[in-house]
Structure 1
Amino acid sequence: MAKLNFGGTEENVVTREEFPLSKAQDVLKDEVVAVIGYGVQGPGQALNQKDNGINVIVGQRKGTKTWDKAISDGFVPGETLFEIEEALEKGTVICYLLSDAAQIALWPTVKKHLTPGKALYFSHGFGITFNEQTGIIPPADVDVFLVAPKGSGTSLRRMFLQGRGLNSSYAIFQDATGKAFERVIALGIAVGSGYLFETDFKKEVYSDLTGERGTLMGCIQGIFAAQYDVLRSKGHSPSESFNETVEELTQSLMPLVAENGMDWMYANCSTTAQRGALDWWKEFRDATKPVFEKLYDSVATGKESQKSIDSNSKPDYREKLDAELAELRDSELWQAGKTVRSLRPENQAVEA
């Protein structure tokens, strides 16, 4: 394990150099990794493990779209694809990758298959941290840990196929076998992590829920909508408003931030742009920080988790979700985006 120093704050990290895939394969050689759920994280994690030579099976309900997707991805019914309970029985590591609401519903079934020495693996700290709301309390004689890739399962898989890794956090909640550390790191490498940084279940879910509602999704959509609306109200065209709000950021500037930091991105823009950005960023920070404080408090007090459980457990959840997503999709902002994306050179037909 290596240590990184961030201005006096040390962090424990594990890289693929010190824990190579060959070591992960050796640690997991006698394990049967059962991926339960084939929705958001399931496909990426299962396929990456499969391609990395890990003995992985998928547990999913027969006759569902996700069952069919698992088959199309190469999992074979009766060999590497099973009904959920059969997969739970066969697995020595249970990768519990269902949605938070589905984890609550299935927990009594999962718990009875957690025999001594098995491992329960999460990619989110939700179920354990908010166990008073979820009822997820593992038996004392199993390992419990998480690997949380810092991105979607789709991104995890795409980056893996490109020969890259997506950074992940890891945490150990319970070490019953004395082997939890090796098991969790091996699984983190096997699912395609770039490097792994240490956290705990509570910090993972607090940061994750804050990030999703904040700069990763909720906040970014909010500021996109605000700037786009202001530009449109001042007479700018949909194309100009979208390009100045979203397209230039995602296609040109954010890759520079990812490459070498915000100052690097600034340095590659005009001096006029630099001056304006330096003058305004603290005003945006000061305006939004109270919102982030309110958001974090809502997460830490369990309000956000309870809202999520209540909403996502309702029988009409999917219909209401689809309606809210349609509101985004059908807005002028994202309809303009659809048109602009179609005009990117890579999406244009090439004449012979």
Structure 2
Amino acid sequence: MAKINFGGIEEQVITREEFPLEKALDALKYETIAVIGYGVQGPGQSLNLRDNGFNVIVGQRKGSASWKKALQDGWVENENLFDIEEACDNATIIQYLLSDAGQIEAWNKVKKYLTAGKTLYFSHGFGITFNEQTGIVPPEDIDVILVAPKGSGTSLRRLFLKGEGINSSIAVYQDATGRALEKAIALGIGVGSGYLFETDFKKEVFSDLTGERGILMGALAGLFEAQYEVLRKNGHSPSEAFNETVEELTQSLMPLVAEKGMDWMFANTSVTAQRGALDWKNKFKVASLPVFEELYEEVASGREAARVIQEGSRKDYREKLEMELTEIRESELWKAGAAVRTLRPRL
């Protein structure tokens, strides 16, 4: 493992140079990998594994929308596309990539195929960490591992096709064979990770739930709405308010922050922007820190997981979700966004 200095703290990471694809293929040469679920992570991970030369099959409920998508992506029924139980029966490694609610629902079907020496793989620590609520308790004679790409399955696939990759965390919950970590690393390389860093199932789910509800989606969406509303109330047009709130951030600034860092961003703006941003940064931190602390405590206590399980299991959840998404989609903010996107120059 390579030792990298992260902000003065040294961590060990695994890179493609240390563990190349050829080594990953050799480590899993006798394995059949079944990707169960073809929703958020399933397509990207399974297609990347297939393109990288691994023996991979897909398990999905026959006739579902995801089954049809798998067919469109080139998976062939009864050759490398099967219903969930048949795929689990044929596999030595079961990548359990259904939604958290789907994992709970399908667990009893999948569990009976987890015979001694097999591997159960997750890309999210939810089901294992909150097993008192989910009921997901694996047999003791199998390996249980995690590879969690730090991005969507769509991004994982797009970057793979560009020859790039998303960084992923890896973890071992149970090592029955003595090879669990090697399998996790090989699969992390196989799905197209940039580099791999070790964690555990609990830390993965705590950071992931905090991030999703916080800066990655919840907080960001809330900040977008707040700034947009203030600008509109003060007479700015929808176009001006959207461009200053969302468009400049996503299309100009964040790619530069990703490439060069926030310090570079501050150093390469006008004095007016520098001084204002640096002065207001701490005010936003002070204002938001209690919210993030409350959020983390809700996640760590299990209350957030309980709410997700309760809401996600409601029969009318999808209908209510569509209502919430429609409200966002039909808001002036995101209608303005749709219009702005059509005006982006196409080279």
8 A Cα contact 1:266 1:274, kept in partner: yes
Say whether the 8 Å CA contact 1:93–1:119 is kept in structure 2. yes
Look up the equivalent residue of 1:163 and give its one-letter code: G
CA distance in 2, matches of 1:178, 1:30: 16
1:322 aligns with 2:322: yes
Alpha-carbon displacement from aligned partner over 1:201-250 (angstroms, at most 9, x marks no partner): 00000000000000000000000000000000000000000000000000
Alignment of 1:1-352 (within 5 A): 1-346=1-346
- Describe the SS at the equivalent of 1:257: helix
AA of the residue aligned to 1:88: C
Q: Secondary structure at the match of 1:345?
A: coil
- The amino acid of 2:321's aligned partner reads L
Please list the CA deviations of residues 83-122 of structure 1 after superposition, one character each: whole Å capped at 9, or x if unmatched: 1000000010000000001101111111110000100000
Q: Distance in 1 between matches of 2:5 and 2:248?
A: 34
Letter of the aligned partner of 1:122 in structure 2?
F
Q: What is the CA deviation profile of residues 175-219 of structure 1, one whole-angstrom value per residue up to 9, with x for unaligned ones?
A: 100001110000000001000011000000000000000000000
What is the alpha-carbon distance in structure 2 between the residues aligned to residue 22 and residue 337 of structure 1? 44
Q: Secondary structure at the match of 1:85?
A: helix
Counterparts of 1:267 and 1:158, CA distance in 2: 31
1:239 is paired with a residue whose SS is helix
How many Å separate the matches in 2 of 1:342 and 1:252? 17
CA distance in 2: counterparts of 1:10 and 1:172, whole angstroms: 21
Matched residues in 2 for 1:265 and 1:322: separation? 38
CA apart distance, 1:7:
4.6
Paired amino acid for 2:212: E
Q: Say which is worse superposed, 113-122 or 262-271, in terms of deviation.
A: 262-271
- CA–CA distance in 2 between the matches of 1:10 and 1:90? 42
- The Cα shift of 1:268 comes to 2.2
Asked whether the equivalents of residues 20 and 189 of structure 1 are also in contact (C-alpha less than 8 Å), the reply is yes
Q: Deviations over 1:36-64 (max 9, x none)?
A: 00000000000000000001000001111
What secondary structure, in the 3-state scheme, does the structure 2 residue paired with 1:117 have?
coil
Cα distance in 2 between the residues matched to 1:10 and 1:137: 34
> By how many angstroms is 1:5 displaced?
2.8
Distance 1:268 1:335 in 2: 32
Unaligned runs of 5+ in 1: none
Secondary structure class of the residue paired with 2:145: strand
Instruction: Identify the range of structure 1 (35-44 vs 319-328) with the bigger mean alpha-carbon deviation.
Output: 319-328
Distance 1:224 1:253 in 2: 15
Q: Deviations over 1:104-152 (max 9, x none)?
A: 1111111110000100000000000001100111001000010000000
| Local SS of the residue matching 1:136 | coil
Structure-2 separation of matches of 1:320 and 1:184: 37
The 2-side partners of 1:73 and 1:7 are apart by 41
Cα offset, 1:295, TM superposition: 0.2
- Structure 1 residue 8, shift from structure 2 partner: 4.8
Which residue type is aligned with residue 10 of structure 2?
E
Cα deviation, residue 327, structure 1 = 0.9
Q: Is the 8 A contact 1:104 1:127 kept in 2?
A: yes
Aligned residue pairs total 347
**Offset at 1:270?**
1.3
Task: Tell me, in whole angstroms, the C-alpha distance in 2 between the residues paired with 1:156 and 1:202.
Answer: 23
Q: Which runs of 4+ in 1 moved over 6 A?
A: none
RMSD value, Cα: 0.9
Amino acid at match of 2:96: Y
